[in-house]
Structure 1
Amino acid sequence: MTAAPRRMGAENSKTRLLLLDITERLMLEEGYAAVGVRRVAREAEVAPALVLYYFRTLDDLFLAALRRRADQELARVDRVLDGPQPLRMLWTLSSHPGNTLTTEFAALANHRKAIRAELAAHADRYREAQVAALTRRLAETGVELPDGLSPAVLLVLTNALGRILMMENTMGMTTRHEEAVAFVEDFLKRYEGASASDA
């Protein structure tokens, strides 16, 4: 006879959402290593057993935080890229501070297989959604990319550059950043004109 699965707290419980908020904040402020069942419980002013009521293990807590953020980002893709300047919006999206949390999950994934598999699955879905939205918007706005530069390649290059600049900036390393950003701005102006804020 198998034991009945342990009951978990409701997905939309205020307490569960608070625990996820605290996990995310700790990861952003102090890194994933600061997140533990006791620390999250102390920050939420609840007993550690309550954290384990909602999340059986620490990995389950991390996975829930990852899934929540991934779902939010996926929902943002169409909305963010749906404008007259999809290339500029892609650059903004790629260099967004929210990517710091993704970087923490990537570091955590080096040590936990379940996190790595989940992060890869969400990243694949996210990238495909971005490519589809970018391809559609480029066609709608009539922007033609240089020969050999597909929306998918542009997406990967933009995401990589945005993430590298953000990570280096966090470390206090800004050597040649101005030059790289100036190149991006020149490219964006050439293909989409000045940004709305420059007008």
Structure 2
Amino acid sequence: MRAQRGVGIRRSGTRVDILRAAGELMLTQGYAAVTYRGVAARCGVTPGLVQYYFPTVDELFVAILESGTDDLVERLAHAAAAEQPLRAVWEYANDKDGAALLLEFMALANHRKSIGPVIGRGGERLRRALVVALEPVLERYRLGDNGIPAAAVVFLMSAIPRMIQLEESFGTVTGHGEMIALVEKYLDRVEPRKGAS
């Protein structure tokens, strides 16, 4: 019965509001703040209504991850179709809120083992979608001629900003500026900024 109930409410505006509120709460106060009461207060509904949509808090966390992945896949499809797709992907990868939320989910996965596989599936889905979208771009730029596979470009452009944010949270900064400058130099060569000569 629970699965059937969930099918009918997946697109509910209230459900979407609850997910948004829970994600914001997690980002601003950490995963421990994501409780039925905390989410309800932020969303302006009752704790019972949050629990109606998400019978366990783990189901709420999984739904945040899955809906976030869906949104990112759509957003990255637009980025890959942009006039300067590599710069669009770099901009996405440098989204500090997105990276902070991912780090929060990684911390949560240390305590709730059901979360790790969901992070992995979502990350794999995003990465594969980006590789497929960027392969023709790299061919157009003739980067494949240099032996640079799309998967390597996607990995580097995604991993570098996240690693920088992780290290900065602990106070480690050596090499960050140089790495960002190196990527920017690469982008300037491949996708020169408009108006740059």
TM-score by length of 1: 0.85
How big is the shift at 1:40? 1.2
Match of 2:81 in 1: 82
Paired amino acid for 1:112: R
How far apart are 1:146 and its partner, in Å? 6.8
The within-5 A match list for 1:1-199 is 4-5=1-2, 7-8=5-6, 10-97=9-96, 98-139=98-139, 141-145=140-144, 147-170=146-169, 173-193=172-192, 195-196=193-194
CA distance, structure 1, for counterparts of residue 144 and residue 173 of structure 2: 29
User: What whole-Å deviation, never above 9, does each CA across 1:23-74 have from its counterpart, x for those lacking one?
Assistant: 1101111111211112112223333222111110000111111111110001
Say if 1:143 and 1:192, in contact at 8 Å, map to a contact too: no
Report the CA distance between 1:11 and its aligned residue. Answer: 2.0
Give the C-alpha shift of residue 132 in structure 1: 0.6
Q: Contact 1:87–1:192 at 8 Å: present in 2 too?
A: yes
Whole-angstrom distance in 2 between the partners of 1:41 and 1:118: 24
Superposed CA deviations along residues 151-190 of structure 1, whole A, max 9, x for unmatched, are 1112112211111123344556544322221111111112
1:78–1:133: 8 Å Cα contact kept in structure 2? yes
Q: 60-69 or 78-87: which moved more? A: 78-87
Q: Is residue 95–residue 163 contact of structure 1 (8 Å, CA) maintained in 2?
A: yes
Number of residue-to-residue matches in the alignment? 194
Moved more, 149-158 or 62-71: 149-158
Contact 1:37 1:51 in 2 (8 A): yes
Q: Which has the higher helix share?
A: 2
CA distance in 2 between counterparts of 1:20 and 1:115 reads: 16
SS at match of 2:79: helix
Cα contact 2:80–2:133 (8 A) shared by 1 = yes
Q: Percent identity?
A: 37
User: What amino acid is aligned across from residue 72 of structure 1 in structure 2?
Assistant: D
Q: What one-letter code is carried by the residue in structure 2 that aligns with 1:131?
A: V
8 Å Cα contact 2:131/2:151 also seen in 1? yes
Question: Which 5+ residue runs of structure 2 have no aligned equivalent?
Answer: none
The 8 Å contact of residues 31 and 104 in structure 2, kept in 1 or not, is answered as: yes
Q: Aligned-residue CA RMSD in angstroms? A: 2.3
In structure 2, how many angstroms separate the alpha carbons of the residues matched to 1:168 and 1:197?
34
Task: Report the TM-score, using the length of structure 2 for normalisation.
Answer: 0.86
Q: In the superposition, relative to structure 1, how do residues 197 and 52 fare at CA in structure 2: closer, same or farther (>3 Å)?
A: farther
Structure 1 residues 90 and 5: CA distance shift in structure 2, 3 A? closer
Unaligned runs of 5+ in 1: none
Whole-Å separation in 1 of the counterparts to 2:167 and 2:181: 17
Give the counterpart letter for 1:179 in structure 2. Answer: E
